[in-house]
Amino acid sequence: MKDLLPVIQDKLAERLDGFTIPNLSNFYNEQVKVFQNYIVSNMLPIPIYDGRFARNEIVKLNAPQQLFVKVDDVDDIANGIPSNLRDAQVMQQMDVFIPREYGEPLEVGKLATLSDISGISQLSKYMSQDEYKSVKDWVNMIGENDSNQYMTQKAVDRAIAILEYLNDQGTSYVIERDLNPGQIRARLTGTNLQVRLTDSRENEHYVGRVTDRGAAIYYTTDYQSAPKGPMDEYKDITNTEAIRLLRYAQGYAIADFSSEAGDKAPVGNS
């Protein structure tokens, strides 16, 4: 790796018209020294760019500083197996430290917070700090005693996809609490549209459901559990399907990709 650093530095300088950039070799050597010092002092580094940790609040608040946990804590809490640090319950118990030039490492919090377990911290970058403070506890409260009440990562990813779509389109929105604990929504500015972003695990198929003046817009199947009842809800919603539903509610013509419709046949708009 270190043999590549001078080449990378030269290429970056070339692309930046000779602009002086930090010495990557020195940076690399400094980071190696930090690792070595802390490993010797009974500390284990946390890979802050690993997706399993990078989305946690403690990493976001302290990046790009390197984070460490105590080897003794790994022994006591994670049964001496570093890979167990990926477990949500283990992460909630692990104290995290950052290096200091002098003195003992500084404890900065737990490797995972309740907001990381619920998934709301992953949505934080799509809302203001005030909005995040307003909805965080509202989402977290449903799983304080049972984390299985929280949505799966699949549903969190669907909420992220919806928010990324809104940002990519330049659509203004406000994040706010929805009716029940655990539920938040994005209210599209200048419209009557609201889209659900979080819910309990039992109802996580509601993530992506749109309301317009109180009328719900969502997918159904062509199957009826009860002979005279409504069509069953479609629950296995993909990110793409959630975005298409929102676009339909916004009034865009939506292409039908079903086998019966032919290639990209429009199914209408609102």
Tens-digit pLDDT profile for the chain (270 aa)?
545 656 665 665 665 555 454 555 566 566 555 555 555 467 888 888 888 888 899 998 888 888 999 888 988 999 988 888 888 889 999 999 988 777 778 899 999 999 999 999 999 999 999 999 999 999 999 999 999 999 999 999 999 999 999 999 999 999 999 999 999 999 999 999 999 999 999 999 999 999 999 899 988 887 777 777 777 788 889 999 999 999 999 998 777 655 444 443 333 333
Q: What is the pTM of this model?
A: 0.74
Query: Edge-to-edge strands of the sheet including 215-217?
Result: 173-177, 184-188, 193-198, 210-212, 215-217
Q: Output the pLDDT for position 161.
A: 97
Q: State residue 269's pLDDT score.
A: 36
What is the reported pLDDT for 261? 41
| Per-residue pLDDT at 88 | 84
What is the model's pLDDT at position 27?
Answer: 61
